[in-house]
Structure 1
Amino acid sequence: MRGRAFLGALALAAAPTAFAADPADFLVRIGEAARNSNYQGVIIYQGDDMLETMRVTHRFKEGTEHERVQSLNGDPREILKENNKVICLLPKDRKLTMNLPTPKALFPALSAERLQQISQVYEFKDLGTARVAGRNCQGLAIAPRDQFRYGYEIWADQQSSVPLKVSLIGRNGSVLEQMMFTEIEFPSSIPDSAFRPQLPPGETRQVVQMIENPPLPQQTGLAAAGNAGLRLDRLPPGYRVAFRELRPLPGGQGQVEHVVLSDGLSAISVFSAMKAAPPGNVQAQSVSQMGTVHAYRRMVGGFHVTVVGEAPQETVRMIGDGAKPAARVEAAAAAP
């Protein structure tokens, strides 16, 4: 999960009735509220065999979004964000990490196009109302229609629409990851000083530029799902190409292609690069897991292919097993 979003300050006094009629509107509201609202509070994140407690301060002012996340347990760490610019501050000699969860990491902002895509592979269920962090919330379950993806449960504040609790749900109904506010307030304004770091002098500081929201899918179908050297011949239902780029390998040793596949909610990355292996040679496969993230690696036709994402193991396997050299695919298509 680790990475998803929220929405504007529209009241949801009639939320239970309105939601039942239009879950899409509910999702759009929460997506906007997490970005367009001022709020500060304490969040607890549970997942990947860890427990993180964080103080979060978020502001939207004059079209600019600011966010500050401070770890309250473990090593002192901070993440400062201004729109898509990210600054990580961490103790000296500590490895740079981007895995401090934030409210925006809970759920992606959704456009009408993505909602249409989501409805094909997920179904919605009204969870009624409950209290989170002392506030009345409206709940929504997003359940997968097949075995290729996880589900979600979202509890959004009825007054602000900001999601206060989001859970990632496994196929057996178990909670795989969860992020929840334990206290929150919505100040009308937040001063600039609230976004200044407070780590002691001498701590390591690194600046990382990132794009938090990949472009919406512009291409569909299998023809768009690979480069001239490698094709992705089998995609799970609902997954489309959302983003792609070619990156140079270190030392000028060729290029690696990065393709992001999305079903509108979950995202899976496919990395492929030429390796010194005879064409058509398929070597041993391997599967690894870290929390809810699965990775599948294999060699095929001289390509080293890695499929990784927050999805069940069979999802990354299907994508990886469907990877074929483009020349072989074209030859098979041309055969009588």
Structure 2
Amino acid sequence: MPVWERTGRRAAGLCLGLMLSYTAACAAETDPLAFLRQVQAAARTLDYAGITVYQQGRMLQATNLVHRVDGTGERERQEVLDGAPQECLRENGMEQCLLPEHRLIVMRPAHSDHFPALLLGEDASIVRNYDWKSLDRTYRVAGRECAVSELRARDALRYSYRICTDLKNHLLLKAQTLDADGRLVDQVAFSRVSFGADIPPGALASRWDTRDWKLRTESNQPVDLTAQGWRFTPPAGFSPIAEVTRQMGPGRTVQHLVLSDGLAAISVFIETFDPKRDQNIRQGGLRQGAISIYRVRLASYWLTAVGEVPAQTVRNLVQTVQYLPQAAH
């Protein structure tokens, strides 16, 4: 074995003496946050296009995804290829979603936390909730070599993840969600992907003619739920990253709290109970793949928690919520 492989000091010196990009790669080999930030940066800064496939049990859903970065910022197009047609066009912080069956355009703040993005909220909290391990092997996804690593949950409140990242540019090519026993819950991966100059011209353009479609605008406004009398006890390791009031169209307003542990997110929706509309809505839990849902009625409100976490996590969260309007100020 060469001397530099046996001596940590010499190995560190080698990393420091090479070009900046190699230095970042060396750091990422041992620093989980450096590695994850590298993967996140690839999702935000690269030009890529391809087909992603999401699998949940026997259900498969394919999406055509195009992402470009230029002088105007980030632009993206997502087109669902299975079931009812839907297409979302994002430019930086706003997106318009096209619903052809309803001839409707929905304008709203963009959701940019989907695959191949990886991180949410405060990424420093990840090392407190997950153990990262490189599996020292490669795999092939969409014809490209990728490195396999795992983020193992430290408790039963969250899932673990196995991910495969491109060896050349660090883009996340495949992500699997695993339960506490290591069983596959769901997965998403590129089935085809291209980069840079290989992306066809006009790939960001919509194929729908929307000139006579209806337009609906959804907006978010910051809100202080504690000041309104709401008391939440987040699951261990989860912290609030957003509190907003969402205008979901004429006459429908929803309060929205988002909690995250850096990788997983839980949304809590608070909506006024409508006796005419909501009499048949069922309380309790529901699970769809990695997504757990739990709904209860509290005072004159519906509380619904939705998250890519085990069912017990959202149930415990909702059942500890208190509404104390007399404490509002």
Question: What's the TM-score bracket when you normalise by the shorter of the two chains?
Answer: 0.7 to 0.9
1:121 maps to 129
Q: CA 1:329–1:319 in 2, change beyond 3 Å: closer, same or farther?
A: farther
Alignment of structure 1 residues 148-227 onto 2, 5 Å:
148-188=157-197, 193-199=202-208, 226-227=226-227
Report the residue type matching 2:126 in the other structure.
I
The SS at the match of 1:92 is helix
Higher relative contact order (CA 8 A, sep 6+): 1
Counterpart check, 1:267 vs 2:265? yes
| 2:238 partner amino acid | Y
Alignment partner, residue 220 of structure 1: none
Aligned partners of 2:112, 2:21: CA distance in 1, in Å?
19
1:87 paired to 2:85: no
Aligned to 1:235: 234
DSSP 3-state at the match of 1:105: coil
The alignment status of 1:323 with 2:313, answered yes or no, reads no
- Correspondence for 1:257: 255
Provide structure 1 residue ranges, at least 5 long, that are not aligned to the other structure: 1-9, 216-223, 278-283, 331-336
Q: Secondary structure at the match of 2:124?
A: helix
- Amino acid of the residue matched to residue 35 of structure 2? F
Residue 314 (str. 1) matches residue 323 (str. 2): no
The size of the alignment, in residue pairs, is 298
When residues 29 and 209 of structure 1 are mapped into structure 2, their CA distance, relative to the original with a 3 A threshold, is farther
Contact 2:77 2:90 in 1 (8 A): yes
Q: CA deviation at 1:29?
A: 0.9
What residue identity is the alignment partner of 1:318?
N
- The structure 1 residue matched to 2:141, chosen from 113, 132, 135, is 132
* C-alpha distance in structure 1 between counterparts of 2:106 and 2:134, whole Å: 36
Identity of aligned residues (%): 32
Select 2:53's aligned residue among 41, 44, 49.
44
Name the SS of the counterpart of 2:49 in structure 1. strand
Contact conserved, 1:77 with 1:88, CA < 8 A, in 2?
Answer: yes
Using structure 1 for the length normalisation, give the TM-score: 0.73
Instruction: Say whether 1:53 aligns with 2:57.
Output: no
**SS at structure 2 position matched to 1:31:** helix
Q: What is the rounded CA distance, in whole Å, between the counterparts of 2:193 and 2:112 in structure 1?
A: 12
CA deviation vs aligned residue, 1:280-324 (integer Å, no higher than 9, x gap): xxxx95222333222222234554432222211111111111112
1:28 to 25, 32, 37: 37
